[in-house]
Amino acid sequence: MKRNVPYALFVLLFLNTLTGFSQSNTSKPKQFSAFPDVINCSETELGRIFNSPAGQFVSLSFSDNFIFSGNVTSNMVKYANLQTAVVVSPDYYNTIFSVSKIINTDGSISYLGRIINKKYFDGFELKQNVAGTYQLVKMETDRVMPDCSQQ
């Protein structure tokens, strides 16, 4: 039994080294590093997206220094209580803002969405805080979008 311990240790170290070298170490650049971690959004600005047909250019001003402009590529009513729109911004290297408007059973409206680009490390997630206001909260896109590309 004692003779097998060095071999088992060697195999364990070999597999550990092998998996370490197979990890992709390509770090993606941050696209939104110049912006704060949290940006307040008005519901009226979010609602403007859903009044824009596909193909129309929209400019969404979320704060004094963050304006997301681009073309509405789709605006679909999926169910009676769910509408989803996608805006692609050439200003941010074709970054996608996908946002959904949900009409709750009590008639109130909720919004969910993300601003993401698979070529960049960071993005924003649209969240409603405890006060009921909407905010774009910075996130790491690799935690949301796993890389499925074949190398």
pLDDT of the residue at 21: 56
| Residue, of 21 and 53, whose pLDDT is higher | 53
Eight-class DSSP state of 30:
P
Q: Looking at the 3D structure of the chain, how many domains does it have?
A: 1
Contact 76, 29 (CB under 8 A): no
Is the pLDDT score of 33 beyond 90?
A: no
Residue 106, amino acid:
D
The neighbour count for residue 86, using CB atoms within 10 Å, is 19
| pTM of the entire predicted model | 0.76
- Does residue 140 sit within a domain? yes
Q: Tokens 């409603």 label which residue?
A: 128
pLDDT of the residue at 2: 60
SS3 68: strand
Tell me the C-alpha distance between 43 and 23, whole Å. 42
Angstrom distances, CA of residue 124 to CA of 48, 137, 141: 19, 5, 8
Q: Give residue-wise pLDDT tens across range 112-142.
A: 999 999 999 999 999 999 999 999 999 987 6
Contact 78, 105 (CB under 8 A): no
- Does residue 29 sit within a domain? no
Eight-class DSSP state of 83:
E
Identify how many contiguous H helices and E strands the chain contains and give both numbers: 3, 8
Average pLDDT across the chain, whole number: 86
Q: What is the domain range of residue 114?
A: 38-144
- Does residue 81 sit within a domain? yes
pLDDT of the residue at 55: 96
Q: Give residue-wise pLDDT tens across range 134-148.
A: 999 999 876 655 555
- Does residue 15 sit within a domain? no
- Does residue 18 sit within a domain? no
Where residue 63 falls among pLDDT bands split at 50, 70, 90?
A: confident
Tell me the C-alpha distance between 133 and 40, whole Å. 8
- Does residue 45 sit within a domain? yes
Tell me the C-alpha distance between 98 and 54, whole Å. 13
With a pLDDT cut of 70, the percent of the chain lying above it is 77
- Does residue 72 sit within a domain? yes
- Does residue 7 sit within a domain? no
